[in-house]
Amino acid sequence: MRITGIFEKAVPVASTMRNAAFDFSEMTTSVVAVVTDVVRHGKPVVGYAFNSTGRYACGAAMRARFVPRILSAAPEELVDDAGLIDPEKILQRMMLREKPGGDAERSVPIGTIETAVWDALAKILDRPLWHVLAERFGDGTVAATVPCYVGGGWYRPEGDLAALSDEVKRHLGAGYTHIKIKVGGASIKDDLARIETAIGLMAGADHLAVDANAALSIGRMRDYAVALAPHGLRWFEEPCAPLDYGSFAGLAETYRPPLATGENLFRLQDVENLFSFGGFRRDRDILQVDPPQAYGVGAYAQMVARVEALGGSRQRIFPHGGNMMSFALVAGLGLGGCESYPGVFAAFGGFADGMEVCDGHIALPDHPGIGFEAQPALYQLMRELADA
Amino acid sequence: MRITGIFEKAVPVASTMRNAAFDFSEMTTSVVAVVTDVVRHGKPVVGYAFNSTGRYACGAAMRARFVPRILSAAPEELVDDAGLIDPEKILQRMMLREKPGGDAERSVPIGTIETAVWDALAKILDRPLWHVLAERFGDGTVAATVPCYVGGGWYRPEGDLAALSDEVKRHLGAGYTHIKIKVGGASIKDDLARIETAIGLMAGADHLAVDANAALSIGRMRDYAVALAPHGLRWFEEPCAPLDYGSFAGLAETYRPPLATGENLFRLQDVENLFSFGGFRRDRDILQVDPPQAYGVGAYAQMVARVEALGGSRQRIFPHGGNMMSFALVAGLGLGGCESYPGVFAAFGGFADGMEVCDGHIALPDHPGIGFEAQPALYQLMRELADA
């Protein structure tokens, strides 16, 4: 069993959305296909992934370093004792001749390829990835459904309270019960009006989270914390810069409701620093590392174990990126829940067809692998890549 | 005054050297040319830089994001009140639509372009970059010479004590007085033999530094610390992973002589975290951030100011990267000293012709800009890029 080719294409995420820090008008993502020599239904098994949203495509680094390292290995170096392709060995092979540190430059291309390898492996095993993960990293049992919340409430070019209200109603009508909206891209007064509008439509303030996208100054962060605290929101996300552990710790001392961060942490060491120096509260704060952006699926499972060793809970890990990759990890490892971006980020912002939301939960689908084949627009992009 | 084109080429650094963490056999660097519409001696002024050593070339990110952002700006947006190109405004322009965090992925391409802009600016002013920096960030005065030490003592494929001894003698014969050698790529016993061999040839143990390149396990780090401490070496560099502030702090409590780190820190926040959480000792420890890899020259000057505000000293900042870019910063800002890699990293490992070492110091040259024009092999690469 061997990998015969790895292909990448940069695709615009085609979003007009804006958060408090930046807009997505130039944003791209890398779609990756890992082709194996295993044949199923008359065709080679191909693993797919993309590098989530918010980090630009990274195909050049793949082509210059990571793909040649994999393809130049002896095939027996990259399989496990059962002769199956081994994501951990492939990860280590990609790390050859990489200098310590500077992870964000490589954790995204490496993590995306590694995630596609897991997709291929699960398809070879003819099982959903969540099933493979539950067996390899747990006792094989899973819950029947996964909690999903909407990451929405973006600042729209045309945005106003009526548009936000319509959006919240649409999500609730679709079966969601928990929603996250942006803050920090308007005045505190206007943001509070947005928050109160959303809460007014929902079952309670603890169903609403807010996301400042690391765009607030320290002074504004404190002002927001004072204004937000009485509402008892579900969480206050990225109140400060992602590596500003000191400010996060200071806020954790005064702001009682949950804080959240992690989508801009790229390796386990960053998470350990957040726990050691960021005042991350094991009993309430939320961790949101993005799987394909942080060295992939295997690194995620290691991180979950480490978080629990440090006194945290997997119930408070909500992976960034509303997509099938995060869904498989949440389902397979029993994490807190999954983000969802209905109608945003073009082909990259949804789940497989037929995954209906009911009372804020989505039932586990049974597509082999990650399940991209059941996302027609996305799978079209992926299949073209493998066939090219 | 405007930038008319920015060009990049990936060039192998062509080194057979190995440290304790990895080898350089695949390593590349990005050579950059920033072409302006200012004409001197009948030709456009062109600024040059390269992304130092140890981080792979990054031209794809430049071409996809940073170069188009600069070239699409109105020229008047990128100049200062005197009408000169403004590196800070160009930096801010490159940061458009960049998501917070994940710095290493962008700080190298951005920092390299920014450094080339400074080279162009200094040439437009017809002064050495060190002179421009001394005026812009200080009182304009500089020392006549800069302390330079050799970053050497690599593990060679053929390496033994006789080869190391020859190397040390060669450096001392060339006028150097301070040398750094690698540790961690052999047994502690063999490394101690290397250290004792080097010390035996030098004026004192405090003239020798050692560099573990972040490759030691925590247990080995502690063993090395115990073995090294009695020698009173100049410094013990990268004893642990670059972001492992907890281990660095633990070591700083027990290992009395100076520690050093920083070549794998990519933004000011990392340095602040090192000071806040890493137990960095203001009175002795050494900081070694690499200028073009960490957002460039302007960010370096800001970092120096911040280090002093935190109680550190610019006298203990030794920029990573033995090249003319680091030299200009050390000379212009009065930093501790400069690294030098004689005979390593092909065209990328030296200073301008005529820069002789005398008693461990090099006199300030007077080439306009950074001075790459006086490095024939490197300038050949750069000029081809601008002429292409």
pLDDT value of residue A386: 85
Do the chains contact at A105 and B100, CB–CB below 8 Å?
no
Dist CA B121 CA A114 (whole Å): 44
Interface test with B, best of A19, A56, A310 (most B CBs within 10 A): A56
pLDDT value of residue A22: 81
pLDDT 10s digits, A76-124: 999 999 999 999 999 999 999 999 999 999 999 999 999 999 999 999 9
Q: Read off the tokens for B288.
A: 């070694």
The shortest C-alpha distance from A176 to chain B (Å) reads 27
Q: Which residues from chain A sit within 8 angstroms of residue B56, using beta carbons?
A: 61, 64-65, 105
Question: Torsions phi, psi of A26, nearest 5?
Answer: -100, 0
The shortest C-alpha distance from B104 to chain A (Å) reads 5
A97, A214, A265 member nearest B25 (Cβ): A97
- Which fold, B3-126+378-387? Enolase-like; domain 1 (3.30.390)
Q: Read off the tokens for B338.
A: 């400069």
Q: Which of B149, B155, B161, B249 is nearest to B208 (CA)?
A: B149
B96, B99, B104 member nearest A102 (Cβ): B104
Other Cβ atoms less than 10 A from the Cβ of B300: the count is: 29
Q: Read off the tokens for A291.
A: 């799987």
Given the structure tokens 């050049």, which residue do they identify? A60
Q: Which of B290, B292, B299, B344 is nearest to B320 (CA)?
A: B290
Q: Identify the CATH number of the domain defined by range A136-374.
A: 3.20.20.120
Domain B136-375, CATH homologous superfamily name and number: Enolase-like C-terminal domain (3.20.20.120)
Amino acid at residue number A8: E
Q: Which residues from chain A sit within 8 angstroms of residue B243, using beta carbons?
A: 101, 267, 269-270, 273
Q: Which of A275, A381, A290 is nearest to A335 (CA)?
A: A290
Dist CA A380 CA A71 (whole Å): 25
Which residues of B are tagged catalytic?
Answer: 182, 320
Mean pLDDT to the nearest integer, A306-332: 97
Dist CA B41 CA B37 (whole Å): 13
Does residue B354 contact residue B343 with C-beta atoms inside 8 Å? no
Do the chains contact at A55 and B277, CB–CB below 8 Å?
no
**pLDDT band at residue A135 using 50, 70 and 90 as cut-offs:** very high
Chain A / chain B CB contacts < 8 angstroms:
131
Do the chains contact at B273 and A55, CB–CB below 8 Å?
no
Q: Which residues from chain B sit within 8 angstroms of residue A22, using beta carbons?
A: 96-99
pLDDT value of residue B317: 98
Q: Read off the tokens for A74.
A: 């002896």
Average pLDDT, chain A: 96
pLDDT 10s digits, B142-187: 999 999 999 999 987 666 899 999 999 999 999 999 999 999 999 9
pLDDT 10s digits, A149-205: 999 999 876 668 999 999 999 999 999 999 999 999 999 999 999 999 999 999 999
Do the chains contact at B105 and A101, CB–CB below 8 Å?
no
Dist CA B18 CA B213 (whole Å): 10
Give the torsion sign (CA, B71, B73, B76, B78).
negative
Does residue A209 contact residue A260 with C-beta atoms inside 8 Å? yes
Nearest CA in chain A to B24: A97
CATH 3.20.20.120 boundaries in chain A: 136-374
pLDDT value of residue A21: 83
pLDDT 10s digits, A199-245: 999 999 999 999 999 999 999 999 999 999 999 999 999 999 999 99
CATH 3.20.20.120 boundaries in chain B: 136-375
Long-range interactions of B381-384: CB distance < 8 A, separation 24+: B381/B9, B381/B11, B381/B31, B381/B347, B382/B31, B382/B33, B382/B46, B382/B48
pLDDT value of residue A158: 67
Do the chains contact at B214 and A100, CB–CB below 8 Å?
yes
Interface test with A, best of B8, B17, B25, B99 (most A CBs within 10 A): B99
Does residue A335 contact residue A318 with C-beta atoms inside 8 Å? yes
The shortest C-alpha distance from B334 to chain A (Å) reads 27
Amino acid at residue number B61: A
Does residue A109 contact residue B102 with C-beta atoms inside 8 Å? no
Interface test with A, best of B55, B243, B244 (most A CBs within 10 A): B243
Give the helix ranges, DSSP H, for B65-128.
67-71, 87-94, 104-124
Do the chains contact at B264 and A27, CB–CB below 8 Å?
no
In three-state secondary structure terms, B383 is helix
Nearest CA in chain A to B69: A26
Question: Torsions phi, psi of B368, nearest 5?
Answer: -60, 145
pLDDT value of residue B299: 98
Q: What residue ranges of chain B have pLDDT lower than 70?
A: 157-159, 388
Half-sphere CA count of B372, side-chain side, radius 13 A: 28
Q: How many angstroms separate the Cα of A161 from the Cα of each of A156, A206, A228, A366, B168?
A: 11, 20, 18, 39, 71
- What count of residues does chain B have? 388
Do the chains contact at B102 and A264, CB–CB below 8 Å?
yes
Does residue A346 contact residue A336 with C-beta atoms inside 8 Å? no
Dist CA A13 CA A27 (whole Å): 6
Q: How many angstroms separate the Cα of B209 from the Cα of each of B53, B196, B380?
A: 19, 12, 34
In three-state secondary structure terms, A290 is coil
pLDDT 10s digits, B47-106: 999 999 999 999 999 999 999 999 999 999 999 999 999 999 999 999 999 999 999 999
Do the chains contact at A264 and B108, CB–CB below 8 Å?
no
CATH 3.30.390.10 boundaries in chain B: 3-126+378-387
Q: How many angstroms separate the Cα of B236 from the Cα of each of A236, B204, B209, B244?
A: 41, 15, 6, 15
Dist CA A210 CA A19 (whole Å): 11
Dist CA B136 CA B128 (whole Å): 13
pLDDT value of residue B159: 67
The shortest C-alpha distance from A353 to chain B (Å) reads 30
| Residue partners of A128: CB distance under 8 A and separation at least 6 | A122, A328, A364, A365, A366, A367, A368, A369, A371
Which residues of A are tagged catalytic?
Answer: 182, 320
The shortest C-alpha distance from A383 to chain B (Å) reads 24
Dist CA B341 CA A193 (whole Å): 60
| Residue partners of B286: CB distance under 8 A and separation at least 6 | B235, B237, B258, B259, B260, B261, B262, B316, B317, B318, B336
pLDDT value of residue A279: 98
A24, A99, A214 member nearest B21 (Cβ): A99
Dist CA A74 CA A110 (whole Å): 19
DSSP A48-93: EEE--SSS---HHHIIIIIHHHHHTS-GGGGB-TTS-B-HHHHHHH
Q: Which residues from chain B sit within 8 angstroms of residue A66, using beta carbons?
A: none
Dist CA A170 CA B217 (whole Å): 53
Question: Torsions phi, psi of B266, nearest 5?
Answer: -120, -5
Half-sphere CA count of A89, side-chain side, radius 13 A: 16
Dist CA A118 CA A301 (whole Å): 13
In three-state secondary structure terms, B352 is coil
